[in-house]
Structure 1
């Protein structure tokens, strides 16, 4: 092996060892995840989806927009090498292309078929179709909050479904992909920060996935406007100035519409999926989510009881008001 290449490998190994040491030291400090076993990942960091290194995930979306080289320049040399190694894998390269293909199909509202995926993306990698589709589906779920499901097994047709069971994406106007993934991440950070998160904490998390307050994103457009204006106007988020803060600072809370339409358990399940773990790994948060589910069930039962009582009263009133024959 040439001397220069050996030197480069040694330097890279030293950097990896330093990062590993820092991670181990970080385990000794209290984790804001309230009992999550992955204590090396703080709330201010975005965990890595399966099969993807941290550096790759933070530039993954930008790869679709052909800005990968620019983003690499903004990373440390070690992260850049990680991203480059990840993208050199032919399977991962196909995953990137397939996600881009799915986004385009979503934009055009076109049917997604296995035949089209094989012809347009997979091509000579047909033997790896299932693995490529699995990884692409994971990224669509974790990054954009949508599930890719087969809706016609006979013709192998697929469709994208919003993970949030409400009309959030229908009222956000024309979108390249659903913003529900962005909303779920923000709601998750708020939940993990005892239901009130500083704005700086929100942007710390989003920056780990390549979303910045002062930079237009090719998927989300103007992220700051989407989060601090659009989602606030739709009452999914509350955005308010911290009392007596000087200079002024701001914080986020769940909005009334989010509290009514989205369960904390659904957000916790999404966050647990990002961490490749289960919701009960977040002990305190899981307990809070169970309590939220119980309160929701009680509210639904009370609403059904009120509806039944109203219907019964109306029926009796109609019977008494009916003219005799």
Structure 2
């Protein structure tokens, strides 16, 4: 094939991929609803990210559709792979590359890495979980929670939930709003995500109760009245469990993935996330020193007791 024609085909495929990105996520959510229950949409943060300044990367979103013909073959395979991964997880079966190739990828095996990449992005956006290779030799994969302090522990039965993807989105909005988001900002995002639609209500239950009671009780969010507000206004902050189980850098990585970019594409947020990482490192080091000092003290006491026996 002539070089010029190949370039045109690649450009056409890129345009088709951009147009179908939202539809692919919509399809993944529909499949997830059949397999797991509902999932979340990635759209609200696309607009929210622009609030830092106009240098933010933008993403276009086509109208939601269920027409599979509108998606590229690779996107269709990515959506099917999401379904396959969820089914494997629910059945507590190992996830292997061989099975993905045999039952999903099939004749598109030369595009395995790209299909897996797209499916992994959908899993992050819909559920807040990563697909990671945990055994390169046997090519085994695992689903790993983004809300995980170590980042290398497999999901438990409770963790694979559309609530995780929604929580990641809300934590991201709070971070973007200066670590404290007004209640109306959160509801605006929820409305964009169509959380109040009948289908979403069936999947999430009462969204206001989920955010102002359930996630507060679980320690992921703090919901408080703004001081001296009359009539009363309320705001959301990260709860202690969110601080313990994730970080600003992980949330920024989540945002960057939505925009198909890297965390340092958002300079001021990236600087804040880096400062947060440094502070976390200092806290961990201080804790290690305290632990070491306590252990050393116990050792000296034991040695002294032994000497006097």
Q: Give the TM-score, by structure 2 length.
A: 0.70
Structure 1 residue ranges without an equivalent (≥5): 1-49, 68-77
- Alpha-carbon contact 1:53-1:82 (below 8 Å) kept: no
- Alpha-carbon contact 1:144-1:181 (below 8 Å) kept: yes
1:90 to 73, 95, 98: 73
Give, in whole Å, the separation in 2 of the partners of 1:305 and 1:208.
47
Q: Does 1:235 align with 2:219?
A: yes
* Root mean square deviation, CA, Å: 3.7
1:320 to 276, 298, 304: 304
**Structure whose alpha-carbon radius of gyration is higher:** 1
Q: Does 1:133 align with 2:100?
A: no
Give, in whole Å, the separation in 2 of the partners of 1:135 and 1:183.
21
Report what 1:5 is aligned to.
none
Report what 2:46 is aligned to.
none
Report what 2:82 is aligned to.
99
Q: Give the TM-score, by structure 1 length.
A: 0.67
Give, in whole Å, the separation in 2 of the partners of 1:246 and 1:165.
39
- Alpha-carbon contact 1:144-1:177 (below 8 Å) kept: yes
SS of match in other structure, 1:251: strand
SS of match in other structure, 2:261: coil
Shift, 1:89, TM fit: 2.7
2:175 to 191, 196, 204: 191
SS of match in other structure, 1:322: helix
Report what 2:92 is aligned to.
109
Q: How has the CA–CA distance of structure 1 residues 80 and 291 changed in structure 2, closer, same or farther, with 3 Å as cutoff?
A: closer
Q: How has the CA–CA distance of structure 1 residues 63 and 205 changed in structure 2, closer, same or farther, with 3 Å as cutoff?
A: same
Q: How does 1:203-214 map to 2 (within 5 A)?
A: 203-212=187-196
1:263 to 247, 262, 276: 247
SS of match in other structure, 2:200: coil
Q: How many residues align?
A: 267
Structure 2 residue ranges without an equivalent (≥5): 1-16, 38-60
Q: How does 1:10-29 map to 2 (within 5 A)?
A: none
